[in-house]
Structure 1
């Protein structure tokens, strides 16, 4: 600040000095010009007296250092010139000062002399006999004046500059010293310039506000620490360089790490390949949810990138201990596999006998009705077994079908055609829209997923409702939207509808029919295909299932 004030004062001083110098030189130039004109007029008057008395002989005796004198006849012929050869000079009748002298008795002019080749001031006087006597002198211009005064000007400039610098230095220190001595801890207690009083008042208000905000931030941080420390879930916040910004004890416990002072990389908390890969992916800007093993326990890790101005600045990581849930899932898978294996053979036999009865090998009047029921129930049981087997196969990745190009429009049309009869029973209208989009995928699984979505839309639809399938391309991916006008799904049910055997409307599960595995097959089939399935629903109005398939 001192330097800026010094520079400002010094610059103003130099500007004032330069302005004064310029004005002074201008005044001097004007003064010398007027003075020269007076001297020429006086000299011309003296010479006129001599010429009128002695004639042109008086001019012959002029000294060598005299000003230039020219004697001109009435017709403009040059009779005498003490600098140039009068005989070689042109007629001067048209010269400005000569014409003016012939008319008024005297005349002046300033111009570049053709003879002397420089700027010259001329004064002409008409004599009694009509001749004209002209006296001229070189007019000094401003640069010439400066050249004559260069030494005193430089001395003055150096002296004034040094004085300005000294004064500017003293004044700037005198101004800044009280400002540097301000007590900003107690701004209102300072007695200084009136101009700074509003600033000190503002600083005082800001300090109070800042103290309040710091206290509030500290309180919120303490509350946050209390909440996170009492969470069973592990919680981590990291920056873009993998350094841990915040964590709770549950995170350290699940990762098998110990508390340490100072910042450290999150990669030092657990060095497993899966965990390090998750950190790398989330810092690349990808939302990650995956299952990892930490110290023999199954954990679900959810990692979300933190964005600022389209740049990843860190990530939030939540670790859930899902060991018990995973064990339950494992037990359910084992149970499903065992039950399906044990029941498939006898149920197939029941179905075979029911077909024999249904074909009339036994008396129709006694057995056909019962045989039809046996066959129908057997088919339901076989469907259940087949669904369980499909889920088990999808869980274990045991489908070895090759991929092929599938026309989604044609696949959806065939499935809706298969469901026409069942739709007619509830007077449900079937609609199909969209272009013929082709994807390279496993056709069998895709058809199974699409069939179960449409079948689910029929089961939970209202009487005289509608089922609509829309096919489109969104951001380079194929998308199938299955929309119904059914009973809808509540918010709490949305999280569980893809679980096995879970039903939204348990009170009507028998009347609706099915195995309770349809949406579970959809979920597992989508995962197998690398597709994504989402649900949007409003209770009492219907549901939309959105299946996105990479092309």
Structure 2
């Protein structure tokens, strides 16, 4: 802007300088022309007086540097000329100024010399005797005048041009300086040219509108970020070149990618073949829903192309972690199969024994024995059904028992009394240690958990072993420790002992009885109570189960 203003001012200055110089020269030229005419008239008047008195003798006193004087007779013959020989001069009767003088008493004429770039002004006066006295002087035209003073004119032009440039520079900077100093953040506070006021008003309105739009966009972006960041599902938006435009932390976590720095290809987040094929297909315009494994987790990936003017410009990808659902479905399938198997075994026995009795193949004295076998299998079946019901109730949270203050020591002692006869059969010693600590909890579920822990300690114990229950308080939380001297649990089995129907020693399972749901009931019961259960075990030496009650339940 400064350069344009400078050029405009500079050009205008030069034009004004050129125009004013030409006009001044023109005025001076005409002025000096008129002055020359006056001087010639005055000189002719004085010289006419002398000629009328003295005749031709009056011309003898003319100085050498005098203007040209010509004396013409009535018939146009040149009688005298101070610059030329009158005898060689032609008749001047037809000259313009001579003819005009004869008619009016005086006459003027100007004749140019193109070769000499000058003109000559003639003034003629008629004397009383009819003769004509003419005085002439040379007047140089503008080019001739300028030609005689080229150097000073050039110096003047250079000086004036430099001055014009300096003035244009100063003026342009002075004009632009207030514009450059405008505070566009607060346009309405500027005091500058009136011509800029409408522009500043418009800028102010646009800034307010822009700030409002930016604030709204920022608010929407923050809302979008809050929503996506709190989604368990992974969320990705990519462009047609696979570059990630938007994502949430769940997507990076599920894909097993680190923190993203700047824009990068979504293919760098996970390089598995299945994921790359999905990206290629969705960018071809195909809706994709598939299951993929990322970092050992099962994920359902839904990808939708983004269309714009019949062209795929990107894609939206949603990743759902379905590991628990898949695991739950697998567990339900296993549970169904195990329940079916566990129910089938006693039912088959009951059906077989009943069929033998019904067909009369049993001796009367053996009937009681077979009836005992049927009763035992029926009890096993009832126990299994009851355990399955308990697991289902714990899963669905259908226990509506009121909480009450329970003495853990007394509850543990009652459970050990119920198991005392079975412990004697295998010569297992039962021990109970600790203070009488009361907790506010659901008695039925707590007793079920303790019973199954102790029952499990008896089943997998050794002859002449021991089962010890210890109650203690540590760091403000109550703990119940059930420790046995049994067969122990391997590291591999520790991860699965709380699964339904899982048995550590499958070869020994029929001999020890049980449904395989005891520790599963312990796990779900502890979760219902808000307690935490952990296991410590050494293979061949025994196991130690620690049940930690929640602090708020005391």
* Fold match by TM threshold 0.5: no
Q: Which has the larger radius of gyration?
A: 2
Relative to the length of structure 1, the TM-score reads 0.45
- TM-score (norm. length: structure 2): 0.44
